[in-house]
């Protein structure tokens, strides 16, 4: 799945709806949103149906009745509009810190797409007010907690509508300042929305808070899986991984497309590498600063060993022609036929993550254009106007909850395997001859080097394991048992976002350790980086080293981690891969 797509700076919402890429461009790149004439026609027609239904005096949920457990109470026509405003006021019960701006804006975009389907019956001017807020970056301040994802994300969407109707204190953000809603809307030149029949219900009934977070999370996960492959490739270089374990024939034999793709990417990233070779052929002297190599197929560099001589048959008194090291300096790595799982099984772990991500994108791509409020209006004939109004449960957030739980497990696994490579990189018993904690002369004990970043990675991995426990399996009845099964979709989406935030740091730590190990490896074997590494791993190395220098002695490390995290978030390492 690729997110880089050239789109006009205005995205037109038509009968086809929006794509995930459209939503991300509107939210992240401030593209404008415009309603097509076809969409406007559908909205106007649905509104006429609502007005006709009210005139008929028919008992219709949420239009001429109360809500939830109050569904059987008929509301007099004179109070029908007041009912909608009261709905919003009473449902603004969110708590906690404000939700991220991109989460809020995505929620607003998705609420527009839901109403634009023509099943909700809101006024066109109400929908256009919401579009104006999106285009001018007028963002309600939405408390992050308080929804169970059942009748939709009622609390968060109600806070959004509260700002639209000009009520609430310090609950609207515009041009970097926080305003009371009425003042902020006036400042932005957007009319205060006056709710009419069904409009409060149309605006706050749906899982767009959950789905909005999901859109942003999927965008970030797509970037992170690419960064995870790059981090792994740098570790392959640093740890002199065996190239044959990524041979396409191995992965084709298991049929999984994600696994095949990851193995292909790792081969591409390390193509031309001196370090990523077939293990059973190449051996190097492990004496510090030597770098002499012996190839079972070709003999040693100076031909002191006859070609095709088996390494195991070298004479006991054999010494390295370069540094005088003993046969034992070669024997300690014999035979090294395959790597540990955190290296060898990278395609088998990251491949399923790619497939999980693709499945989640398919589900959310459908959800972002769904009509999710209740009841829904179905026009059967335009002229004379005939319609059906049916109550249902499209507001239930289960589809979002399940895929977000699925994605949280997958992305936690990305961190798990990355942390294991981090531990290997700093372990002088497992890192193929590099120093303990990747610091020169670690035996003196004066410098701790990279002892501690792995602690941080371990802490984040542990937290992610807790966060990856599914939210969707829980349900607590609400609304006097009328809403007796709920999805917990906003919790599933929010914790997935937190897992990705932690994963950014884990991958940054692996990259930081890997480039340090590569520096040490190149020094030992006296090979320039550009000749030692694959073209793409070398480009990734350069990008990281452009913001973080090599560690020679102990210094404060957290700024280095933060700088690499910024590269990861921005996708800079991915973009620079082929430069």
Average pLDDT score over residue span 24-33: 96
What pLDDT does residue 80 have? 75
pLDDT digits (tens, 9 = 90+) for 425-443: 999 999 988 999 999 876 7
What three-state secondary structure class fits 188? Answer: helix
pLDDT above 50: residue 222: yes
Greater confidence, 483 or 505?
Answer: 505
How many C-beta atoms lie closer than 10 Å to residue 267's C-beta?
18
Q: How far is C-alpha 373 from the geometric centre of its chain's CA atoms?
A: 27
pLDDT > 70: percent of the chain: 90
Query: Distance between CA atoms of 480 and 460, rounded to whole angstroms?
Result: 39
- Average pLDDT estimate for 100-123: 97
Domains along the chain? 10-206 (1.10.275.10), 218-276+336-357+399-578 (1.20.200.10), 281-328 (2.20.28.10)
pLDDT for the residue numbered 293? 62
Residue 296, pLDDT score: 53
CA distance 571 to 573: 6
Out of 15-24, 110-119, 294-303, least confident range? 294-303
For residue 41, the surrounding DSSP H or E stretch is helix 37-56
Q: pLDDT tens-digit profile of 246-269?
A: 999 999 999 999 999 999 999 999
Phi, psi (rounded to 5 degrees) for 564: -70, -35
Per the annotation, the verdict on 61 as an active-site residue is yes
412 — pLDDT class (breaks 50, 70, 90): very high
Sign of the C-alpha dihedral computed for residues 342, 343, 347 and 351 taken in this order:
positive
Flag whether pLDDT at 481 surpasses 70: yes
pLDDT in tens, 39-63: 999 999 999 999 898 888 778 887 8
> Are 498 and 467 a contacting pair, CB within 8 Å?
yes
pLDDT at 333: 47
Reported residue count of the chain is 579
Give the HSE-up count for residue 95: Cα atoms under 13 Å, Cβ half-sphere. Answer: 2
Predicted TM-score (pTM) of the model is 0.90
pLDDT for 310: 47
Average pLDDT along the chain: 90
Rounded Cα distance, 48 and 33, in Å = 25
Q: For 483-498, how does the pLDDT look when each residue is reduced to its tens digit (9 = 90+)?
A: 889 999 999 999 999 9
**pLDDT number for residue 291:** 61
| pLDDT over threshold 90, residue 551 | yes
pLDDT confidence bin for 14, thresholds 50/70/90 = very high
Specify the pLDDT at position 58.
78
Does residue 334 have a cis bond before it (omega within 30 degrees)? no
Q: pLDDT (tens digit, 9 = 90+) per residue, 338-378?
A: 899 999 999 999 999 999 999 999 999 999 999 998 899 99
Please give the residue that has the higher pLDDT: either 519 or 483.
Answer: 519
pLDDT digits (tens, 9 = 90+) for 309-333: 444 456 677 777 777 877 766 554 4
Coil vs helix vs strand at 322: coil
400-429 average pLDDT score: 97
Q: Which of 31, 61, 292, 505 is catalytic?
A: 61
pLDDT digits (tens, 9 = 90+) for 262-297: 999 999 999 999 999 876 555 666 666 666 666 555
What is the Cα–Cα distance from 239 to 221, expressed in whole angstroms?
26
Residue 119 corresponds to which tokens in the numbers above? 């099943």
- 399, pLDDT greater than 60: yes
The DSSP-derived string for 17-34 is ---HHHHHHHHHS--EEE
Question: Using 50, 70 and 90 to split pLDDT, how confident is the model at 34?
Answer: very high
**Contact criterion met (CB below 8 Å) for 91 and 155:** yes
The model's pLDDT over 453-462, given as tens digits with 9 standing for 90+, comes to 999 999 999 9
More confident residue, 519 or 481: 519
Q: Which residues pair with 387 in a beta bridge?
A: 379
Rounded mean pLDDT, 380-384: 90
- Averaged over 135-151, what is the pLDDT? 95
């Amino acid at each position: 799945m690729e997110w880089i797509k050239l789109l006009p700076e205005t995205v037109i919402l038509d009968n086809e709806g929006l794509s995930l890429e459209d939503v991300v461009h509107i939210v992240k790149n401030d593209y404008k949103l415009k309603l097509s004439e076809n969409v406007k026609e559908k909205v106007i027609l649905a509104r006429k149906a609502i007005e006709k239904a009210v005139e008929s005096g028919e008992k219709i949920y949420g239009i001429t009745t109360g809500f939830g457990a109050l569904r059987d109470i008929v509301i007099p026509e004179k109070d029908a509009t007041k009912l909608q405003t009261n709905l919003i006021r009473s449902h603004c019960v969110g708590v906690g810190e404000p939700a991220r701006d991109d989460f809020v804006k995505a929620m607003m975009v998705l609420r527009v797409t839901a109403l634009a389907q023509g099943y909700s019956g809101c006024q066109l001017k109400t929908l256009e007010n919401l579009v104006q807020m999106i285009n001018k970056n007028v963002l309600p301040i939405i408390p992050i907690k308080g929804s169970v994802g059942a009748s939709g994300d009622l609390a968060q969407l109600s806070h959004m509508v509260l700002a639209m109707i000009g009520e609430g204190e310090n609950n609207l953000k515009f041009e970097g300042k926080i305003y009371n809603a009425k003042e902020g809307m006036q400042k932005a030149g957007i009319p205060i929305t006056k709710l009419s029949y069904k409009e409060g219900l149309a605006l706050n009934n749906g899982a767009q808070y959950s789905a909005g977070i999901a859109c942003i999370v999927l965008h970030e996960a797509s970037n992170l899986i690419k960064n995870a492959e790059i981090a792994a490739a740098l570790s392959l270089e640093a740890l002199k991984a065996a190239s044959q374990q990524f041979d396409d024939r191995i992965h084709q034999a298991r049929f999984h497309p994600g696994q095949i793709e990851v193995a292909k990417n790792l081969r591409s990233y390390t193509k031309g590498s001196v370090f990523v070779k077939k293990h059973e052929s190449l051996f190097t002297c492990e004496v510090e600063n030597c770098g002499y190599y012996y190839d079972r197929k070709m003999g040693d560099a100076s031909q002191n060993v006859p070609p095709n001589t088996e390494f195991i048959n070298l004479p006991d008194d054999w010494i390295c022609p370069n540094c005088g090291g003993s046969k034992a300096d070669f024997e300690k790595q014999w035979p090294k036929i395959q790597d540990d799982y955190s290296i060898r099984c990278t395609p088998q772990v990251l491949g399923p993550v790619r497939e999980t991500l693709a499945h989640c994108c398919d589900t959310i791509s459908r959800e972002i254009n769904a009509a999710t409020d209740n009841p829904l209006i179905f026009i059967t004939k335009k002229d004379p106007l005939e319609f059906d109004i049916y109550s249902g449960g499209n507001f239930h957030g289960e589809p979002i909850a399940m895929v977000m739980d699925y994605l949280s497990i997958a992305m936690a696994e990305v961190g798990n395997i990355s942390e294991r490579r981090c531990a290997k990189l700093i372990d002088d018993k497992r890192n193929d001859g590099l120093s303990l904690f990747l610091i020169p002369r670690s035996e003196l004990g004066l410098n701790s080097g990279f002892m501690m970043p792995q602690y941080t990675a371990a802490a984040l991995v542990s937290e992610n394991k807790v966060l990856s426990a599914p939210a969707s399996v829980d349900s607590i009845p609400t609304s006097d048992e009328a809403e007796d099964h709920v999805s917990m979709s906003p919790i599933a989406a929010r914790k997935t976002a937190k897992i990705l935030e932690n994963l950014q740091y884990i991958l940054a730590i692996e990259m930081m350790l890997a480039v340090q190990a590569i520096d040490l490896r190149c020094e030992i074997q006296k090979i320039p980086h550009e000749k030692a590494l694959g073209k793409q791993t070398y480009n990734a190395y350069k990008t990281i080293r452009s913001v973080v220098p090599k560690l020679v002695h102990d210094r404060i490390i957290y700024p280095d981690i933060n700088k690499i995290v910024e590269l990861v978030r921005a996708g800079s390492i991915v973009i620079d891969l082929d430069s």
